[in-house]
Structure 1
Amino acid sequence: MEFPLFRLFSVFAVLGALLFAPLSANASDLDPENTLYMDLKDGRVVIRLLPDIAPKHVARIKELTREGFYNGIVFHRVIDGFMAQTGDPTGTGMGGSNKPDLKAEFSDKSFARGVIGMARAADPNSANSQFFFVFKEASWLDGQYTIWGEVVEGMEYIDAIERGEPPANPDKIIKMQVAADAG
């Protein structure tokens, strides 16, 4: 039996649409209360929050964002091919907010490119305000760090962040806001 070529292309088109639909999310399709805007020197990063898998971490990130905590904070640890970390007001990687640490909220979600995880010390229940974006798949982190969000637009601006531990001239978060609060 001959399988028409156009049917084969149709099958691949449908599979491709199903597989890649989440990556092409448009900011206008997102819930404004669970979307962050992070402005960097090169442009705006749009982040989808994941309250269904990490409700306490999402609540903390939104609380700190609404307080203006992240505005002006540098990316203090940026490892090429791995991740970019921020959220420490001291810029040293040793600081956090004045709020209590959070208990881990591990999930089955994997650290794919653009996924955001909570940074912590050796204790899994020590996350506070620091977080990191992975530049590419990092599945060895799965189940060890709480995932609370993912980039849906502007990953190229994360890719452009100055590398280093610490970077010689670190990039910073110019402004971060919950989309529902943006004017």
Structure 2
Amino acid sequence: TSLGDLVLDLDVDRCPKTSENFLKLCKTYYYNFCSFFNVQKDFIAQTEDPTDLGTGGESIWARLPPSGSAGDEHGRRHFKAELGAQKEHHKTLNHSRRGTLGMAVSEGKSGSQFYLTLADGLSELDGKHVVFGRLVEGFEVLEQINEALVDEQGRPLREIRLRHVVVLDDPFPDP
């Protein structure tokens, strides 16, 4: 970020579709220069919709040529959120810890918009959004984001951007 590095570890085994989507978007530079547009102290830091449509962004599958199959399991712009994994693994896939990585869900679907939690114990988000990773390094940067001065809509007065995203490990084949 423009404030320093954040290192995330994804739960590729329990949230494979969400993780694959996120990793492939990262590898295509989709998130580069994306800003945190919604920072709510001791709650969440949410990234903007890179498409600027206000629809939660788009999945990697919307950025690929159509496969020709009408029943494409991934959908296109959005894909079915992996909320089942959240229920099955609710003791570990939850918003209990600061630095939780979540994919925003609207009407049961996800695109590309994600957030990081800025406090422990945010159980009110459990089951509503997909937890698919955790921050493992960069907690001091996360605290700087949490302490950012924001306007009445939660927009940081000093822009906070993802400068460059580096994927260290991707277990999924490239399309």
TM-score (normalised: structure 2): 0.72
Q: Which residue of 2 aligns with 1:113?
A: 98
Q: The residue matched to 1:160 in structure 2 has which SS? A: helix
Secondary structure class of the residue paired with 1:175 = coil
1:179 match: 168
Is residue 156 from structure 1 mapped to residue 140 from structure 2 by the alignment? yes
| d(CA) in 1 for partners of 2:6, 2:125 | 23
Identity percentage of aligned residues: 32
* Alpha-carbon distance, 1:180 to partner: 3.7
For residues 91 and 76 of structure 1, do their structure 2 counterparts lie closer, same or farther at Cα, with a shift above 3 Å needed? farther
Counterpart residue number, 2:2: 41
Q: Distance in 2 between matches of 1:93 and 1:81?
A: 24
Distance 1:102 1:91 in 2: 18
11, 17, 24: which one pairs with 1:50? 11
In structure 2, the partner of 1:130 is: 113
CA distance in 1: counterparts of 2:149 and 2:114, whole angstroms: 16
Q: Which residue matches 1:8?
A: none
Residue 105 and residue 95 in structure 1: after superposition, are their counterparts in 2 closer, same or farther (change >3 A)? closer
Q: Which residue does 1:34 correspond to in 2?
A: none
Flag the structure with larger Rg. Answer: 1
For structure 2, the 5+ residue unaligned runs are 63-76, 171-175
The alignment's TM-score, normalised by the length of structure 1, stands at 0.69
Q: Aligned equivalents of 2:168 and 2:31: distance in 1?
A: 15
Alignment root-mean-square deviation, CA: 2.0
Change (3 A) 1:95 1:119: closer
Query: Which residue does 1:168 correspond to in 2?
Result: 157
Is residue 30 of structure 2 the alignment partner of residue 69 of structure 1? yes
Q: CA, structure 1 residues 91+156, in 2 after alignment: closer, same or farther (shift >3 Å)?
A: farther
Where structure 1 has 5 or more consecutive residues not aligned to the other structure, the ranges are 1-39
Q: How many residues align?
A: 140
Structure 1 residue ranges, 4+ long, deviating more than 4 angstroms after superposition: 90-95
Could you list the per-position Cα deviations for residues 20-41 of structure 1 after superposition, in whole angstroms to 9, with x for gaps in the alignment?
xxxxxxxxxxxxxxxxxxxx12
